[in-house]
Amino acid sequence: MAHTTDRGGRKAGTRKRADAERNIVAIIAAATESFARDPDASMTDIAKAAGLGRVTLYAHFPSREQLLRTVLAETIAESTRIIEAASPAEGPPAEALARMIRSCWPLLSRFGSLHAAAQRALPADEVRRRHDRPMAHVERLVARGRAEGAFRTDLPVEWLVTTVYTLLHAAADEAAAGRLATEAVGEILEKTLLAALKSE
């Protein structure tokens, strides 16, 4: 008898965990889409988009900030994988930069106003620090480009990395606001950043 109850309890536990996992996945997907469309998306908007009640949403994410942090961490991790797949350490630096921009742009574009949502709700330093992993690839590429004579050496590396970071996100904001045609942005970013970074 004890054995059966135990098995039943374990089954119920497994089912509960599976439900929780499914809910978390649904919440993160709904939150990503909601923040991409509207930087001020509320917990109520997100619960509705996920097809869940507010109680369930708050059981998994006690605050909007915490949900935003999770969504930001997931999307930055995805961007990092895409940047790594573009092999920024290989080939001529200018070509590697162009490849990196073109590979991560569609993702940045899909995340729309998510970065703006993060900037509005989280400390500026935190938002930037969360981008440390993808930006480390940019920093290494800029350093390599300088060593190989392809990129300028008259400005601090950190500033050149900030220029890349800032213009990538500005382009995403402009496209999200309908002021830049999404399909043109990859080329626009590539031309702007190569001109800003290349050596004289």
Kindly tell me which of 121 and 142 has the beta carbon lying closer to its own copies: 121
Binding mask 23-62 for its own copies (x = CB under 8 A): ----------------x-----------------------
**Cα–Cα distance between 90 and 133 in angstroms, integer?**
18
> Whose CA is closest to 186, among 197, 172, 200, 198?
172
Among 166, 172, 183, 186, binds its own copies (CB under 8 A): 166
In the region spanning residues 97 to 116, those forming contacts with its own copies, defined by CB under 8 A, are 113, 116
- 156 near its own copies, rule: CB under 8 A: yes
**Cα–Cα distance between 21 and 29 in angstroms, integer?**
12
Residue 151 phi/psi, 5° resolution? Answer: -110, 155
| Count, residues near its own copies per rule CB under 8 A | 31
How many beta carbons lie within 10 A of that of residue 5, not counting itself?
9
Which residues are within 8 A (CB) of 182 and not within 5 positions of it... i.e. 6 or more apart?
109, 175
- CA 19 remoteness from chain centre: 26
Kindly tell me which of 50 and 142 has the beta carbon lying closer to its own copies: 142
CB of 159 to its own copies, least distance (A): 6
- 191 near its own copies, rule: CB under 8 A: yes
- 158 near its own copies, rule: CB under 8 A: yes
